[in-house]
Amino acid sequence: MSWLPASLADFGPATLAALMIGAYLVLGEPFVGWVLHRRFEAAVGVAPGARRWLYGRLLLLEWGLVAIVVAVSLVAAGVGWSELGLRWPDRVGFISGLVAVVIFAVTVLSVRALRAGVLREAGSESAALRSVGSLLPRTEPERRLFAAVALTAGIAEEVVYRGFGIAVLAALLPSSPWWCLVLIAGAAFGLAHAYQGIAGIVTTGLLGSVLAAVYLDTGSLLVPIALHAMIDLRFLAVPPHVLPGEAAPPAAAEGGSGPAPPRATGEPGPNDTQPIDFGQRP
């Protein structure tokens, strides 16, 4: 791990900014994600454009964080692309190769389970599965935008949480063993998914730790980026009819004359004259 910063002095004039970003990842991102998904879940059964609205916000948020990290690295004295893991792997040893094979196998098996309707069957009993199910695309425009979100997550979250986050941790805790960095990075990544409930925090935290271990073993973010993108893109193999709830008919989803999705009494529908303001707290 010789490429990682040895102390906060490596960040030079960007030290304060680096610490603020690190604090945001641990404390701010869980709150922002919770608010964003709460607004989405309040509107998803009412407004046909709710998923596209959420996907757009996620793209802006994640690429915005990447832009900030890049700006900090340009100002930092000794933290550049290489120190953030944007370099060719030093090696892909037995452990990293085994992890990659296991993740690939689990991804394939999970796709089979998802296509069999596991989200629809267990969604009502699990907050994490219900949250994941509501996020997945139903229409072709949603699927195209979701593909961009999945690729963005694979790149941006690895750069921000594994690359930049571990660089800040290494500078703060220069004498810490590798497994300590892995556990802390995984915990921060799990907290960012707090909107999925305890099960979601544990699952994504474990995944974050595994990807952090692969990063530290290979010395590069390229392998974690590929694995992360594959994990998220697998949801495109899930047809809408096996997802929780009824997928909106294409005509209705695109503003046609199909039947409107079910809604509670008193809630505005997609054809009502008063649009939903996603910017307001539900």
How wide is the angle at C-alpha 42 spanned by C-alphas 41 and 44, nearest 5°?
A: 60
Q: CA 120, CA 107: separation in Å to the nearest integer?
A: 18
Give 163's contacts (C-beta < 8 A, 6+ positions apart): 69, 84, 85, 86, 215, 221
- Tens-digit pLDDT string for the chain (282 aa): 889 999 999 999 999 999 999 999 999 999 999 999 999 988 987 888 999 999 999 999 999 999 999 999 999 989 999 999 999 998 888 889 999 999 999 999 999 999 988 887 765 566 667 778 889 999 999 999 999 999 999 999 999 999 999 999 999 999 899 999 999 999 999 999 998 889 889 999 999 999 999 999 999 999 999 999 999 999 999 999 888 764 444 444 444 444 444 444 444 444 444 444 554 444
25, burial (CB in 10 Å: exposed 0-12, middle 13-18, buried 19+): buried
Q: CA 10, CA 74: separation in Å to the nearest integer?
A: 12
* DSSP code, position 196: G
Amino acid at 153: A
Which pLDDT score, from 0 to 100, does residue 99 have? 93
Q: Specify whether the CB–CB gap between 189 and 207 falls below 8 A.
A: yes
The alpha carbon of 217 is separated from its chain's Cα centroid by a whole number of angstroms, namely: 22
Predicted TM-score of the model (pTM): 0.83
Q: CA 60, CA 154: separation in Å to the nearest integer?
A: 15
How wide is the angle at C-alpha 84 spanned by C-alphas 149 and 98, nearest 5°?
A: 75
Q: Specify whether the CB–CB gap between 162 and 224 falls below 8 A.
A: yes
Q: How many CB atoms lie within 10 A of CB 236?
A: 15
Q: Specify whether the CB–CB gap between 236 and 150 falls below 8 A.
A: yes
Which pLDDT score, from 0 to 100, does residue 205 have? 96
Residue 165: HSE in the Cβ half-sphere, 13 Å Cα cutoff: 31
Handedness of CA 30, 84, 204, 138 (dihedral sign): positive
